Amino acid sequence: MPRSLSMQRTVVTPGDRVKFLERMKARQTHYAAVGCHFWVFEEAALSGAFIEFTEAPDAATLKAAHAAAAEPPLDPARIYTIVDLP
C-alpha cells in the first residue's frame, strides 16, 4: 500500500496555545475533507512542543491536500512514503 506522510514540528508559547489548537482543528477538518488523516501530538516532557502528522493514501493526494490548505506546511515537498519491509 503506497501510504504517504508529512510532519511538521512547532513550538508554541503558553499565550498562543488556544489559538494554535483552533488552527489545528481547522487543519484536521480540511485534511479529513480531502481524504487524509491529521494528528497533533505534544511532547510529554516539553509543554508547547507539538508535532503534526498528515497521512494520505499516496503522495499525489498528500501534495494536493497541502496545496489546497489554508496554511500549508512550511515544507510541503517533504513527503515520506511507506517502506515495505521484507
**60, 81 contact by CB (below 8 A):** no
Q: Model's pTM, two decimal places?
A: 0.91
pLDDT reading at 1 higher than 70 = no
- Residue whose C-alpha cell reads 494520505 in the numeric block: 56
Task: Give the C-alpha separation, 2 to 22, whole Å.
Answer: 31
**86, 77 contact by CB (below 8 A):** no
pLDDT reading at 43 higher than 70 = yes
Average pLDDT over residues 78-84: 94
The domains located in the chain, with CATH, are 4-81 (3.30.70.100)
